[in-house]
Each structure stands twice: as C-alpha cells, then as structure tokens.
Chains A and B, each alone.
Chain A
C-alpha cells in the first residue's frame, strides 16, 4: 500500500555494513535518551519526552496494521484508551501496584482486540476501516456513558502506584523515574515489534499486504495472519495507553474518540508507514509541535492536516522516505 521497503533477507555485504551503521545510530539514540535527564531538563520537558515515547510506541503499533499488513484502522484509539482505563481501574478498584496494573491493562486491550479482530478480519479496505471506526465509537460511548465505572466525562483519576519488584519497591513519584520506566519499556517493545516484522509471521504479513489473494494461494491463512497483526497492534497500543495513565494519573473518554484515532493515524502516516521508525518521527513531531504551537494558537493541527494530505497524495513513504533518501537507500 503506502511506503514500504523490501523486507526479508538482506544477505549482501553492503547490506550488512548498512545494518551495522543503523545499529550504531540506534545505539547512539538510546544512549542519548538515557543520559538526557542528567543535563538538567525541567520536569515539564521530561514529561514531554515521556509522552513522545508513549505516542511513538502507539504509532508503531498502528504501523504494524497499516504499513506491514495493509489494513487502515480509523479506530486504533480504542485499544489505547482501553489500556489506559484498564490499568486505571485496576489501580483504583483493586489497588494493584504498577506492574500488575500495567499487565492487566494490556491484557484488557489485547482481549478486546482479539474479540474485534475475530469478527473483523474477514473484511478489508473501506469496510474494514468503517468497522474499526464503528467499534471504537461503541467503546467510546460505553466508556463515556458508564459513569459509575469510569467517571464518564469527569474522567478517571488515579494516583501513581509503586513499582514492586520483589526485591525492591520504587515509589515512582518523580518524573525521571517514570521517564526511565517508559524508556525501558519503549526500547523493549520497539525491539519486540522489530523482531516481529522480521519474523516468518511478519514477513508473511507483507505478502498479505501486497496481494492477499496470492498470499492465500501460496498457503497462508490470511484471516489468521490478519488477526495476529490486529492482536499485536492492539496489545502494543494497550501498552502505550497503560503507560499514559501512569504518566498522567488521569484518563478521559476522549482518548477513545475517533478524533484521537485520527491523530495517531496522522502521526503514523506522516511519519511514514512500513518502517517502524517513521511513525516514531511522526509522533515526536506532532507531540513537540503541539507543545510549541498550542500556546499560540488553537489551530496547530492545521499544518499537520496539510502535511497529511500532502503525504497521502504525493509522498506515500512519509517523512521516513525523505530520511532514507538522504541516507542513500531506495
């Protein structure tokens, strides 16, 4: 569909060299992210960076669906929101500590995406997109209206639970502690997602994306592959949602609204689908631009809307395509 790269085996010499360069660059980025708090940024900036990581993970999960499987979802916010509310409710109702609450929230998001996925993967194209929209709006309405459970419009406030690791317990009250937790999980999840895309399942998804009929004809169970992709995407969206509520200590139903789905869609597509790192760029851009511009104007989204239209119309590989051109790849 949109900007994708040749996936699969890269056995040539230059291929290996390039890989080493990329690995080095990634290592440098991770190192920078690790030492960044040591340079004395304000708590506000630390929180902002944490948000960038959370949205970046969310955007990567959507890329699995759009870029790697060819399925456009207009309702990806639902799984983010369910992860957030799931974790939040587990903390509020059952006083779970951080890790179990996180896992619980992810499990809820995963369960929902499994349920929806089983029904939805028979469709594709517009029908699929519209159905994802409908499903997310159902989830939104339920979360919004079930005020006794979720607090409805008032939102869900949670106090940040401690991180109990058996041997030690961390209060996690400081912004820096959350930042490192999110950074760690981001790196782990990004790695897992990357490995997923390079796995037999992940490469098979490329076949489904490019030509679902042929994928079936060569022996792949296309429906099951789509379901796997949907489940993976929903679960990792759930992770980001869970981290979100832990960061912000607050969730509102808007997190599931289709306009939120629209935002993450824009981040992913503008960043460049099918690359995993493109959506990270898109997410970082959007979070940072919103932060800078929303002080001046309510209409900071306008340039993104334009950028989005331009990318869909003319630059299917998104910003990632520009980055790769500079790096000399196709």
Chain B
C-alpha cells in the first residue's frame, strides 16, 4: 500500500495524541504504584467516570471547560475517598490482594456507571472553536486532536515538573523508593498517599474528559483503557516516571501505526511486547522500574 507523506505525518500525530492521552492516565498509575505499591485496577474506571461526568456537566452547563475542570476534581475526591477507606486498610497485605480488591472496585464502578447513565454511548462535541481542521505542515489536521496534543503534553509536563523540581515532588519521589525512610524523617505519609492517589485519579479523569469528544463515551471504555495502561506500566518499569512517558509514546505509536498494518491484531503486538518485557526485563524497557514486591 502506498501512502504519501501527509498520511504518515498525520498518523504520527495521531499516535502522539494517543500517547498523550495514555500518558495522562499512566502517569497517575505509575506514581500510585511507585508510592503505594499498588496496581490500581479501578484507574480505568476513573478515566471512564471522568468522561461520563463531563457528559453530564456539559449537558447541564453547556461548557466544555466546566467539564474539563470539574470532572477531574470530583473524581480526585473520589480517589481520595477510595484511598482512605479501601486502600489504606489493606496496607501490609500482599499486593496481589490489593490488585484483586481494586479489580472488584472497578467492577462495581463499571456496573454503577452503567446503572446511572445507561448502557448506550454518548457523544460529546468539542468546543466550537476547536471543531474543524487547522492547516499544519501544508495539510489539514483536526483541530481538536491538535488541542489534545498541546493541552495534554502541557499537563503532563506540568505534573512531571512538579514531581522533579519541587520539594513536594522530591518527597513524593523519595517516598516512592523508600517510604520508611521518608516516614522516619517526619513526613506524614498518610496524607502524602491520599494526595498522590487523588492526583493520579484526577489525571485519569482529565484524560477521560479530554478523550470524550474523540471517542464515544461508553461503559466499556474503562476496561479497554486499563489494559493498555497496564501494558505501559510494565513496559516503562513499574514506578518509573521517565519510563512511563517513553512507554506511552511507544504504545501510542504502535497502536496507531499498527492499526494501519495489522488492523485488529495490533493489540496482540502490544501484549506480546508486555509479555516479553515481563520476562526478560522486568524493570521495564529502560531498566528503571522497581520489581514488584507482590508475592
């Protein structure tokens, strides 16, 4: 098949945009793992709930931006509640049990979402000025996708900068590699964990809101995305921020370009990659992650 340069550029941009959405989700997942040592199955549900809340908010207030700001906040609060009442009591237990627990929560959230909003998909329109196309490199590219790319990268960059360059961020990263030490230094790890969980969940919801005009908002979107998120988590090395960003870039591109060549089998490629990494380089592609303690 012969495609011209325009096609390839737009595919790569699509891949980047997919990566950015995935990045927002997985940054949250990876810092939650890094700090709390739990793999949160319900993370995909937060993404989905973010999208659904945006649907409702936008329907009420007729402002996309209201949805963009409010939905993540609500979900972040939900995340904080989950940390406080579900995750924290499970501390000290084998990590696989927490994985099972969050899996159960994900199921409950999925079914509840379907019960509240119904099983039929919703579509969301992007704001007027983001509809249509823009001229890019001499061809037309959807404006909203470009917005995702720019906005998403900005948010991701902000969060990463927060974690890398501020005191709070340093504490978070220190706690991620040695939280006993950080506790001994007098940091209140309980509230730290709460905030981290809230932040991660909020980011997932933000990704859901941003994604909603692009995809249809449907009850299966949480489960679709959590698998991808896990793959990225593993590829990047559990707990490694840098690795996650790179893995998200990789997976986004593989999915988009893979869809061109391999159609539906693209996901097989991604899973195989995850399997290989788990076996050969359990610390992730960049060897930066931590091996799980979940026996």
Contacts and interface: CB of A to CB of B under 8 A. Distances in A.
A and B touch in the complex (CB under 8 A): yes
Interface of A: 1-2, 72, 74, 119, 122-127, 129-131, 133-135, 137-138, 141-142, 144-145, 212, 258-259, 262, 265-266, 269, 298-299, 301-302, 305-306, 308-309, 312-313
A133 B227 contact: yes
Given A119-B279, A125-B94, A130 B230 contact: yes
Nearest to B265: A145
Contacts of A130: 39, 230, 234, 274, 278
Given A141-B271, A145-B265, 8 more contacts: A125-B292, A134-B231, A258-B223, A259-B223, A299-B114, A301-B107, A308-B100, A309-B105
A133 B292 CA distance: 16
A307 to B, nearest CB: 9
Given A135-B271, A138-B268, A141-B265, A1 B101 contact: no
B282 interface: yes
Contacts of A308: 100, 104, 107
Nearest to B220: A259
Contact of A269 (B99, B100, B264, B293): B100
A131 B90 CA distance: 23
Contact of A309 (B104, B111, B271, B293): B104
A55 to B, nearest CB: 18
A227 to B, nearest CB: 15
The winner among A123, A130, A138 for most chain B CB atoms within 10 A is A130
Contacts of A122: 279
A302 B267 contact: no
B96 A313 contact: no
Contacts of A141: 264-265, 267-268, 271
A195 B103 CA distance: 32
A126 B96 contact: yes
Contact of A302 (B115, B293, B295): B115
Contacts of B101: 309, 312-313
Given A125-B95, A125-B292, A212-B295, A138 B279 contact: no
B108 to A, nearest CB: 4
B114 A312 contact: no
Contacts of A133: 227, 230
A72 B114 contact: no
Given A126-B292, A134-B271, A134-B275, A313 B108 contact: no
Find the residue from A1, A126, A212, A313 having the highest chain B CB count within 10 A: A126
Contacts of A134: 231, 271-272, 274-275, 278
Given A125-B94, A134-B271, A135-B275, A299 B264 contact: no
A330 to B, nearest CB: 20
Nearest to B293: A125
B162 to A, nearest CB: 27
A308 B86 CA distance: 13
B91 to A, nearest CB: 12
B278 A123 contact: yes
A145 B115 contact: no
B112 interface: yes
Contacts of A299: 111-112, 114-115
Given A119-B279, A123-B278, A129 B108 contact: no
Contacts of A126: 39, 95-96, 99, 238, 292, 294
Interface in B99-151: 99-101, 103-105, 107-108, 111-112, 114-115, 119
B89 interface: yes
B220 to A, nearest CB: 9
Contact of B108 (A72, A144, A265, A309): A309
B97 interface: yes
Interface in B14-68: 39
Contacts of B292: 125-127
9 contacts: A2-B97, A74-B103, A122-B279, A123-B279, A125-B96, A131-B274, A302-B111, A312-B97, A312-B104
Most chain A beta-carbon neighbours within 10 Å: one of B90, B105, B274, B278:
B278
Nearest to A306: B108
B104 A305 contact: yes
A132 B254 CA distance: 22
A2 B111 CA distance: 26
Given A125-B293, A313-B90, A142 B268 contact: yes
Contacts of B227: 133, 137, 258
A124 B267 contact: no
A262 B103 contact: yes
Interface string B254-295: 000000000111011001101100110010000000011111
A72 B267 CA distance: 23
Contacts of A135: 271, 275
A122 to B, nearest CB: 7
A308 to B, nearest CB: 4
A298 B118 CA distance: 10
Nearest to B105: A309
B35 to A, nearest CB: 15
A159 to B, nearest CB: 29
A312 B102 CA distance: 10
